[in-house]
Amino acid sequence: MKRYLLILTALLLVFSSCKRKAIEQLNQKNQELSNLAHERDSIINQLTASFDELEQTLGLDKQEGDAPQRIKQDIAHLKDLLENNDRKYKSLQRVIANNRNERSIFNGKVDSLSNTISSKENQIAGLNEQLVNLKTQLDTQQLRINRLVSLNADQNSKIDNMVTKLNTAHFVVGNPKDLKEKEIVVKKGGFLGLFGRVDKLNPQFSRNEFSTVDILTDTIIPLQGDKFKIVTAHPADTYTIVDSTEEKVLEITDPDKFWAASKYLVVENR
Confidence (pLDDT) at 103 = 64
| Whether 20 and 150 share a structural domain | yes
Q: Do 234 and 247 share a domain, yes or no? A: yes
Number of structural domains (the chain) is 2
Both 206 and 237 in one domain: the answer is: yes
Q: Indicate if 174 and 155 belong to the same structural domain.
A: no
* 145 shares a domain with 218: no
Answer whether 249's CB lies under 8 Å from 214's CB.
no
224 with 250, same domain?
Answer: yes
pLDDT value, residue 58: 58
**Is 114 in the same domain as 244?**
no
**What range defines the domain where residue 47 resides?**
2-165
Co-location of 100 and 39 in the same domain: yes
Q: Which of 165, 187, 218 is the last residue of a domain?
A: 165
**SS3 annotation, the chain:** CHHHHHHHHHHHHHHHHHHHHHHHHHHHHHHHHHHHHHHHHHHHHHHHHHHHHHHHHHCCCCCCCCHHHHHHHHHHHHHHHHHHHHHHHHHHHHHCCCCHHHHHHHHHHHHHHHHHHHHHHHHHHHHHHHHHHHHHHHHHHHHHHHHHHHHHHHHHHHHHHHHHHHCEEEEEEECHHHHHHCCCEEEECCECCCECCEEEECCCCCHHHCEEEECCCCCEEECCCCCEEECCCCCHHHEEEEECCCCEEEEECCHHHHCCCCCEEEEEEC
Domain boundary among 148, 165, 182: 165
How much is the pLDDT for 39?
73
Asked which of 116, 147, 165 is the last residue of a domain, the reply is 165
Q: Answer yes or no: pTM beyond 0.85.
A: no
- Say if residue 29 is in the same domain as residue 150: yes
* pLDDT value of position 3: 55
58 with 156, same domain: the answer is yes
pLDDT, position 55:
61
Mean pLDDT by 10 residues, the chain (270 residues): 52 55 69 73 69 62 60 70 75 66 71 81 83 86 86 82 86 90 78 53 85 92 84 92 81 93 88
Residues 71 and 177 in one domain: no
- Do 8 and 95 share a structural domain? yes
